[in-house]
Amino acid sequence: MRTIWAPIILIVLFATPMIHLAFAAETPGEYVNRGQEIWNLFFRMMTVAFVVGGVIAGTIVWQVWRFRESNPNAKPTPYEDKGDL
Amino acid sequence: MGHSNWPEWIYVAVVIALLVYVGAEAWNIENIIEHVPEDAEIIKVTAQQWFWTFEHEDGTKEIGELHLKKDHAYKFEIHSKDVNHNFNIPEFVVLMDAVPGRINTVWFSPNESGEFDIQCREYCGLIHYNMRAKLFVEGS
């Protein structure tokens, strides 16, 4: 049961405020500056894209460094340990 | 397995939160942009190889140039007489397809006066490169 609650709590904590933030940001009005709105959206989306890219690239670098054969902390998998490979 | 998997749940939650944010934000901005003001003047835009024709609400027609007032809202009703074109005013980020047999709409309000380019943004034949018009925005 605990595994069901974890994502629900996380979604409530993170996703719901995000939705609220997105909708509370601006209300439909008259004479909006279309160019400004579109470019600002583009910059926000680019920020998200670069953050995601950075996290993925960082995770890959960390994995390669952490699980390299020469790392003193590296432990063989059970298969390698038995000499099955 | 018995091992802790909370980092995976955090990862899943972050991915979901980002997707929700991206979707909600894009939807929100699209709604804001598509909301046409009630007092917007309607301008009929006709695209054909290879020039633009504009018809104001009072029946005035312009060919190859368009005169608008600063800080007024304008709704364009765009259609094409022959092939697909695309009505584009780069300075004001206005971009809408002109398709034969249907009317597409887009609106904007020029917030600066001056002379700006209108161009076709969809390849429409031999002289597509020169299918241009001038937008003159006059002070309010």
- β-strand partners of B133: B118
Q: In whole angstroms, how large is the CA radius of gyration of chain A? A: 22
More confident residue, A15 or B71: B71
State mean pLDDT over B38-62. Answer: 96
Encode B91-132 in three state secondary structure: HHCEEEEECECCCEEEEECCCCCEEEEEEECCCCCCCHHHCE
State mean pLDDT over B30-40. Answer: 91
How is chain A split into domains, by residue range? 34-85
> Would an 8 Å CB–CB cutoff place B29 in contact with chain A?
yes
Strand order in the sheet with B61-63: B61-63, B51-55, B41-48, B74-80, B104-108
Q: How confident is the model at residue B59 (pLDDT cuts 50, 70, 90)?
A: very high
CB within 8 Å: A31 and B22: no
Give the C-alpha separation, B72 to B61, whole Å: 19
Eight-state DSSP code of residue B83 = S
Using DSSP, state whether B7 is helix, strand or coil. Answer: helix
Please list every residue in chain B whose beta carbon sits closer than 8 Å to the beta carbon of residue A32: 32-33, 35, 109
pLDDT for B83 beyond 60: yes
State mean pLDDT over B81-94. Answer: 96
Size of interface A-B (CB pairs under 8 A): 87
pLDDT for B101 beyond 70: yes
Q: Which of A23-37, B68-82, B109-123 has the lowest mean pLDDT?
A: A23-37
Distance from the Cα of A76 to chain B's closest Cα (Å) equals 18
CB within 8 Å: B37 and A26: no
Predicted local distance difference test score (pLDDT) of residue B2: 62
Per-residue pLDDT of chain A (85 residues; tens, 9 = 90+): 556 666 666 666 666 656 655 554 444 445 889 999 999 999 999 999 999 999 899 999 999 999 888 888 888 777 777 776 6
A10-49 as b/e: b if 16+ CB within 10 A: bbeebbeebbeebeeeeeeeeebebbebeeebeebeeeee
Instruction: Transcribe A14-77 into DSSP letters.
Output: IIHHHHHHHHHS----SS--HHHHHHHHHHHHHHHHHHHHHHHHHHHHHHHHHT-TT-TT----
Predicted local distance difference test score (pLDDT) of residue A27: 44
